[in-house]
């Protein structure tokens, strides 16, 4: 298998919010020292510019410019253009989203073969309850009969072990040509982690980070986001999943990411556990408001980390364009 066509493993992790740590982190010089300490009505650490002040106000929505762009092949677009299919309030069947991703990747391969360029793309959505396995996942991490799973079970080409997706969890599938970024899979994984870390800090001041030797994002001992990707000729697909307000019970039916000694957590659970230190206004935020806030921030952080100009689609446009890809 070519080096550029391989899967990246998935787990979850924790670390400082900047991208200059990458080489030191890979060399084992960084450890999980980020603290998760509530202070009055704020979580420890200074909120970033554009902080979505859930603690002080009702969810203040981040706004991103909406620019029309056809999914047709275009000649030499800006190197950082990225079509954003924001379906974050929509439950998309796993198999459908999987087909969309593969079609978007194939589009870009075809354009490249013709000497043309296409803008990158990103999908943001939720899934109905589903378990997924990576290319090298062990069935020993399933606590049920694989022939009689409690929910749908898919074996995919992504890296990593078994995980669960369900309502209340935001899933982000970037379709990025890493030749425009860095043709370095470790750099890409660390960058996805950074997107999540920045979003957690931005929306509600939660300080998260990485664990040496693992991939993903953690808050204390709790794993709050998983990452599992595939790269085909340096075009990425699959991606990240952030537990915002989803039911965590289905994780009990598996050993998530093959890690048996760490709990899985969600943003909602973390905030509720320290509600007395945060203030009642935050506790009153609905699941949909949390999902809206995190979807907005994940887009902002993705654009920042990967230097992207997001060209946003409304839900009807998203569904129309994506459905044409697979029919």
Tokens describing residue 89 = 């309030």
Distance of alpha carbon 69 from alpha carbon 240, whole angstroms:
25
Is 82 known to be catalytic?
A: no
Length of the chain in terms of residues written: 327
Phi, psi of 280 (to 5 degrees): -65, -30
User: Beta partners for 227?
Assistant: 240
Instruction: Centre a 10 Å sphere on the Cβ of residue 323 and count the other Cβ atoms it contains.
Output: 11
Tokens 């704020």, located at residue: 42
Catalytic-labelled residue, pool 59, 84, 204, 257: 257
Instruction: With beta carbons less than 8 A apart as the criterion, state whether 222 and 270 touch.
Output: yes
Distance of alpha carbon 280 from alpha carbon 166, whole angstroms:
27
First to last CA, the chain: 30
41-49: long-range contacts (C-beta < 8 A, 24 or more apart)? 41/277, 41/278, 41/279, 42/205, 42/278, 43/204, 43/205, 43/206, 43/207, 43/278, 44/205, 44/207, 45/201, 45/205, 45/207, 47/201, 47/202, 47/205, 48/198, 48/201, 48/202
| Closest alpha carbon to 297 in 219, 231, 227, 202 | 202
For the chain, what is the largest distance between any 2 Cα atoms, rounded to a whole number of angstroms?
Answer: 59
Distance of alpha carbon 179 from alpha carbon 80, whole angstroms:
11
Give the active site residues.
257
């Amino acid at each position: 298998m070519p080096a550029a066509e391989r899967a990246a493993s998935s787990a979850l992790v924790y670390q400082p919010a900047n991208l200059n740590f990458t080489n030191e982190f890979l060399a084992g010089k960084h450890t999980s020292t980020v603290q998760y300490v509530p202070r009055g009505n704020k979580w420890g650490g200074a909120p970033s510019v554009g902080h979505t002040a859930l603690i002080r106000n009702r969810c203040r929505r981040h706004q991103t410019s909406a620019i029309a762009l056809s999914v047709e092949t275009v000649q030499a677009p800006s190197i950082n253009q990225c079509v954003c299919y924001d379906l974050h309030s929509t439950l998309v069947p796993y198999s459908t989203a999987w087909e969309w991703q593969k079609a978007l990747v194939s589009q870009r391969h075809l354009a490249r073969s013709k000497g043309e360029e296409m803008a990158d793309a990103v999908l943001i959505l939720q899934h109905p309850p589903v378990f997924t396995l990576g290319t090298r996942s062990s069935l020993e991490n399933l606590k049920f009969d694989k022939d009689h799973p409690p929910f749908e079970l898919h074996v995919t080409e992504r890296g990593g072990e078994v995980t669960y997706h369900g309502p209340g969890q935001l899933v982000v599938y970037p379709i990025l040509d890493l030749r425009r970024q860095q043709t370095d899979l470790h750099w890409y994984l660390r960058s996805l982690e950074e997107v999540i870390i920045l979003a957690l800090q931005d929306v509600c001041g939660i300080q998260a980070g990485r664990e040496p030797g693992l991939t993903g994002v953690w808050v204390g001992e709790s794993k709050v986001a998983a990452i599992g990707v595939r790269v085909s000729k340096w075009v990425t697909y699959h991606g990240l999943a952030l537990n915002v307000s989803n039911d965590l019970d289905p994780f009990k039916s598996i050993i998530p990411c093959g890690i048996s000694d760490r709990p899985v957590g969600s943003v909602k659970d973390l905030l509720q556990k320290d509600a007395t230190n945060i203030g009642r206004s935050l506790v009153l935020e609905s699941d949909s408001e949390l999902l809206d806030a995190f979807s907005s921030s994940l887009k902002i952080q993705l654009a920042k980390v990967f230097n992207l100009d997001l060209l946003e689609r409304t839900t009807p446009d998203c569904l129309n364009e994506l459905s044409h890809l697979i029919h």
